[in-house]
Structure 1
C-alpha cells in the first residue's frame, strides 16, 4: 500500500465513524504505530482531521467525504488510475475534473498530496469542476482554488449540466482535463449515460491543452447512450485489466493508452 493509499484509507475510516485511534490504523492497515502517527500528523497539517492524544476526529473539519461514491468492485483500479493521473499534475496547474467515480478518486489523491497543501501565497492548484461532490471534497484545502460551473444538478451523479455550465466553461483555459465516462470503445470513443453530461465533458476536454479519459478496464468495450461528439479522443488512462487486443485497437485509432501499474509502497 502506497502512502497515498494509506492516507485515503485513513480518511475513509474516519468518515465512517467520525473518530479513529492509532491502534485502529495499525490493525486495519498493517502499519507500525509510528507510521500511523506520522500519517495522522500529515493529515492534520492539511486540515483534513483534528488530532487527539491517541488518534484523530473529524472535529471542526467541515466536509463529508462521499465514500459511498467510490465503494465499488473496481475501487482499487480507480485508485491506481487516479495516482497515475496525479503524476501528470505539477503545482500551479489549472485542471478540469468532470464528475465520476474515477475523477472523484483523483480529487481524493490530490487532496492528500503534500506539495499541493504546502502554505503558499498563490494557489498550488486550480480545479474547475462541474461536480459538486468534488468541489466539496477539495473545498477545505486552502491552497487549492476551486471554480464550480453553474448549471442544473443531476442528483444521481452530483454533476451540473445545461447552458449555464456551457457559458462558464467557454471562459476558462485548462492545462489538463480529466474526464470520467461510463463506457469506452475503440471505434465510438468515450460515451456517457446522460447527454447533458456528455456535452459538458466534451467542452471541458476541448478547453484543455491535454485531455485524458479515465476509465477502468471494466468500461472498455462498453457503450453508453451519449457520445462525446467533437472531442478528439487521444489519451486513455486505464488499468492492467485491459486486454492486449483492446489496447492495440485503441492505439491503431491514434489513442495513447496509459496503463496504471501503481508504485512501490513508501
Structure 2
C-alpha cells in the first residue's frame, strides 16, 4: 500500500465513526504505530482531521454538505473510481471537476497526493469546478490553483449553474474533465436529474482534451431527466459491479470502459 493509499484509507476509517485511534490504523492497515502517527500528523497539517491523544477526529469544516454526500451506500465503489481517475492526472494538468459524490471523492484523492503537494513556485494542478464544496475542499492546498465557474447556486447539489457559468466555461481549455452523473445508458449516454447541471457538465466536457464520465455500477442502465446535449460520450470509469453485458453494450457503442476493481 502506498502512502497516498494509506492516507485515503485513514480518512475512510475516520468517516465511519467520526474518530480513529492509532491502534485501529495499525490493525486495519498493517502498519507500525510510528507510521500511523506520522500519517495522522500529515493529515492534520493538511487540515483533513484534528489530532487527539492517541488518534484523531474529523476536522472542522466550513460547510455542511447536502444529505446525498453524507449517506452513500456506494462509497467504496466511488473511492475506487476516484483512485482510477487520479492515475490519469499528472502534475501540471488542468482538470475540470463537475459536482457530485464521485467527483468529490476524486477531489479528496487529489488533495492527498504527495506529488501534487510538493513545494513548487507554480501550481502543481489547476482545477476548474462549478461545485463550491469541491472548491472549499481544495482551497487549503496552496499548490492547487482553483477556478470557480460562477453562476447561480443550486442548494440541493452545491453546484453553480446558469448562463454565467456557460460564459466562463467558454474561456477555459482543460486537459481532462471528470463528470459526475445520475445515470448512464449505452444508447442515450449520461443523464442528469437537473437540466442546468446537465448543460454545465456538457460544456465542461467539451472544453477538455479527454473527458470521462464517473459512474458507479448502481447507475448503469439508469436514466434521469436531462441528457448532456452536444457531448460525445467516449469514456466511462465505473466499478467491477458492472455486468458483462452492460460493459459489452457500452463498448459496442464506441465507449471505452475503465473498470476500477473492488476488494
Please give the TM-score of this superposition, normalised by the length of structure 2: 0.89
Distance apart, 1:18 and its partner CA: 7.5
Question: Which residue number corresponds to residue 169 of structure 1?
Answer: 169
Distance change (3 Å), C-alpha of 1:157 and 1:31: same
Give the C-alpha shift of residue 41 in structure 1.
3.2
Moved over 6 A (4+): 15-19
3-state secondary structure, aligned to 2:89: coil
SS in 2 for 1:200: helix
- CA distance in 1 between counterparts of 2:141 and 2:53 reads 24
SS of equivalent to 2:10? helix
Check whether the contact 1:65–1:137 (CA below 8 A) recurs between aligned residues: no
Q: Distance in 1 between the 2:63 and 2:115 partners?
A: 23
Structure 2: segments with no counterpart, 5+ residues: none
Match for residue 254 of structure 2?
254
- Which structure 1 segments of 5+ residues have no match? none
| Range that drifts further, 236-245 or 20-29 | 20-29
Distance of 1:18 and 1:73 partners within structure 2: 17
Matches within 5 A, 1:226-265: 226-261=226-261
The answer to which structure, 1 or 2, has the higher relative contact order (CA under 8 A, 6+ apart) is: 1
| Structure 1 residues 155 and 177: CA distance shift in structure 2, 3 A | same
- Partner of residue 209, structure 1: 209
Q: How does 1:171-186 map to 2 (within 5 A)?
A: 171-186=171-186
Matches within 5 A, 1:44-63: 44-49=44-49, 51=51, 54-56=54-56
Aligned-pair RMSD on alpha carbons? 2.6
2:76 counterpart of 1:113: no
Aligned to 2:153: 153
- CA apart distance, 1:8: 3.0
Deviation string 1:19-39 (CA, Å, 9 cap, x unpaired) is 654235446656431231131
